[in-house]
Amino acid sequence: MSADPRIRKELKECGEENGSGVFAVPISGDIHNLRGQILGSEDTPFQGGKFNIEIKIPSGYPFEPPKMRFITKIWHPNISSQTGAICLDILKDQWSPALTIKTALLSLQALLCAAEPTDPQDAVVAEMYMKNRAEYDRKAKEWTDQYANEDANEGPIQRICEMGFDRPSAITALEENGWNEEAAVNALLGM
């Protein structure tokens, strides 16, 4: 039982600039391997940030949840500051086949507004969130400005695209290599 028609339909509805603040696009035409993006909401330390999400659609979709991970580094109690792993119930046991890639991304956007420090993915961040909220806000904003600021990183993205790689692949490689251009190019070339 293939879910490809459903995935294609979903992608039509959550393409770039659909006005909802989240989108998902296939990487190199592979509809099971997507790059999602959510905009940080206003009045949060993530305001102005563009957060990229790795989305893998399992063969059991939509009966199994999409696998999502932040590839943009983010300072948040429910997201690992090291791996980008996300702790969100609807991406685990509370998934329902009536949910979609778009609703899952919107839930992630909501998670950025309302952290659940009692069910943390990153204990260090959660402890800071609960014990020193001002310091947490400062650091979350610092990371947003440093890692989620795609415009400031436009130069390296453009240069890698000019080498013939597509934009989602370029951004993914740069983010996975801490915005080190040379390391990103080597990763893309499989070196």
Partner 1 sequence: MKRGKYGVQLSHNNQTNPYQHPPVLSPTPPPPSPSSAQASNLKVTIKSLHVISSWRWSLSSSDDVCGICQSPYESTCPGIKFPGDECPVVWGKCRHAFHLQCVSTWLGGGKNTCPICRREWEFDDSEEKR
Of the pair 67, 131, the CB lying nearest partner 1 is at 67
CB of 154 to partner 1, least distance (A): 36
Tell me: does residue 12 bind partner 1 (CB under 8 A).
no
Tell me: does residue 134 bind partner 1 (CB under 8 A).
no
Tell me: does residue 56 bind partner 1 (CB under 8 A).
no
The catalytic position among 14, 87, 113, 161 is 87
Tell me whether residue 190 is exposed, middle or buried, using C-beta atoms within 10 angstroms of its C-beta: 0 to 12, 13 to 18, 19 or more. Answer: exposed
Tokens of residue 49, six digits: 């940030």
Looking up tokens 């909401």 gives 41
Helix (H, G, I), strand (E, B) or coil at 58: coil
DSSP state of 33: E
Alpha-carbon torsion 127, 128, 129, 130, what sign? positive
Of the pair 96, 186, the CB lying nearest partner 1 is at 96
| C-beta of residue 76 within 8 angstroms of C-beta of residue 171 | no
Tell me: does residue 97 bind partner 1 (CB under 8 A).
yes
CB of 108 to partner 1, least distance (A): 20
Beta bridge partners of 117: none
Nearest Cα neighbor of 108 from 20, 7, 13 is 20
Tell me: does residue 5 bind partner 1 (CB under 8 A).
yes
Side-chain half-sphere exposure of 191, counting CA atoms within 13 A: 6
Tell me: does residue 175 bind partner 1 (CB under 8 A).
no
Residue 113 annotated among the catalytic residues of the structure: no
Nearest Cα neighbor of 159 from 167, 151, 149 is 167
Of the pair 5, 29, the CB lying nearest partner 1 is at 5
- Residues contacting partner 1: total by CB under 8 A: 14
Tell me: does residue 114 bind partner 1 (CB under 8 A).
no
Tell me: does residue 9 bind partner 1 (CB under 8 A).
yes
Tell me: does residue 62 bind partner 1 (CB under 8 A).
yes
Binding site for partner 1 (CB under 8 A): 1-6, 9-10, 62-63, 96-98, 100
Q: Which residues are catalytic?
A: 87
